[in-house]
Amino acid sequence: MKDLKPKQIVTELDKYIIGQNDAKKSVAIALRNRWRRRQLDKDLQEEIAPKNIILIGPTGVGKTEIARRLANLTDSPFYKVEASKFTEVGYVGRDVESMIRDIVELAVNNLRARQQESVQEKAGRIAEERILDVLLPPSTPVNKSFEADNTIDIIVKEDQPEEAKSSTREKLRSMLKKGKLDSRKIDLDVTEKSSPMVEIFSNTGIEEMGINVKDMLGNLMPKNTKRRKVSVKEAKKILTAEEAAHLVDMEKVKTDAITMVEQSGIIFIDEIDKIAGKEKSHGPEVSKEGVQRDLLPIVEGSTVPTKYGTVKTDHILFIASGAFHVSKPSDLIPELQGRFPIRVELSSLGKDEFTRILTEPKNALALQYIALLRTEGVDIEFTQDAIEKIASIAVDVNSTTENIGARRLHTLMEKLLENILFDAPDIDEKKIVIDEIFVEKQLMNIVENEDLTRYIL
């Protein structure tokens, strides 16, 4: 983060997201402020709260993509959730604290995977020794759960001198490394993953209680193992993974994951406009305002218990988004509004933006289809007038039906290339040029028929 200045953050976002400069600028500042906060004295660090952001704009203009790319850029724990999935405390459904548990789970899994990757070499060496112990049992067996298959053609006598055994072991090691023993079979006790027999439902969330009970009883219950006859090559993979898991210091992983979430976690709350608005009915219904009140302490800063330890949410960055077609940001409860001080309005996308989206970003839609069809040996080329025509049609369809922003381009491109994608494996013509005439021929009949447009595009 020290080297990632706001201008550089915006430049990186530009590679994937067209337009929306105000939103990019706001998130770049919010991200840089996190690094600035960590350079201060501990006492002052605790006083500086993150400036949470509300992104306001119609669907398909890049709200979610901005948050996702931001997290990838800084390697921060990132979790996206729809506000409409939460229910008020006291009702069956997801409680707001579950998003904290989920982001911690993601962080732990990512850190564990990285740690396992970093010890792969050492784990591989230990796995190699364990396989050699199976193929050439020492005087005192190292692990009785392995039995060598009788197809091994190197015979070791019980009274063979240690020097001869050592020499034979080295020969076996050499054969193992060269892959000459890969097809040999050995018996291996493999731990089977079993699903819990009892599910526990509670207000704290099914995922939390179920796992805690499993952890408590884990050491009391016998491990379910199954003896399998596997090749040496497969055994090497299984044992390497097992040893890598043993080498990882899980206590450190848990502590680091919680620190990462607390200091650099980003939670993206989509569809926050769905829980805004005045209540229209009276009676036993889940209250939108109730969900907001449950959300408030999490955003404000509180301590949430998870199976890995308690997590303080004071410095997690919350980015909320919503179309706000029916409701408006001021319909949120005042306390929650105050916790999202930065408001950014994203503009609707027009023909120029659509044209650029099709060709400019690293993951441009046109480039995706070119790459997909190249796997079949078919080269397609889009002319500039074809790209502009697709963009123009997207604007027209968005204006006459639902405005779903850039997502409309996915629908149009799929319909445009439907026949080519279907016939690609058997097509004789390996070079196809997509021009304006081709686009009109494929799409104009649907666009002109309003009923078809509504259901197909």
* Per-residue pLDDT reduced to its tens digit, 111-170: 999 988 888 888 888 888 888 777 777 654 444 444 444 444 444 444 455 565 577 778
Domain residue spans of the chain: 6-114+257-345, 120-247, 351-447
Sequence-distant (6+) residues with CB within 8 A of 424 are 373, 376, 378
CA angle 328, 333, 338 (to 5 degrees): 90
At residue 400, the pLDDT reads 85
Residue 279 — very low, low, confident or very high, per pLDDT cuts 50/70/90? Answer: low
Most confident of 12-26, 134-148, 228-242, 271-285: 12-26
Class of domain 6-114+257-345: alpha beta
Which pair of tokens denotes residue 366? 């046109």
Q: How far apart are CA 210 and CA 199, in angstroms?
A: 6
Residues 6+ positions from 111 with CB-CB distance below 8 Å: 253, 256, 257, 260
Q: How far apart are CA 415 and CA 453, in angstroms?
A: 11
> What's the CA gap between 244 and 234, in Å, rounded?
15
Span 10-29, average pLDDT = 90
* C-alpha span between 97 and 192 (Å, rounded): 32
Count Cβ atoms within 10 A of the Cβ of residue 162 and give its class: 0-12 exposed, 13-18 middle, 19 or more buried.
Answer: exposed
**The listed CATH number (1.10.8.60, 1.10.1040.10, 3.40.50.2300, 3.90.79.10) that belongs to domain 351-447:** 1.10.8.60
Give CA–CA dist 4/389, Å, rounded. 38
334: tokens are 């005042």
User: Strands, DSSP E only, in 20-106?
Assistant: 53-56, 78-82
pTM over 0.95: no
Strands 185-191 and 147-148: antiparallel
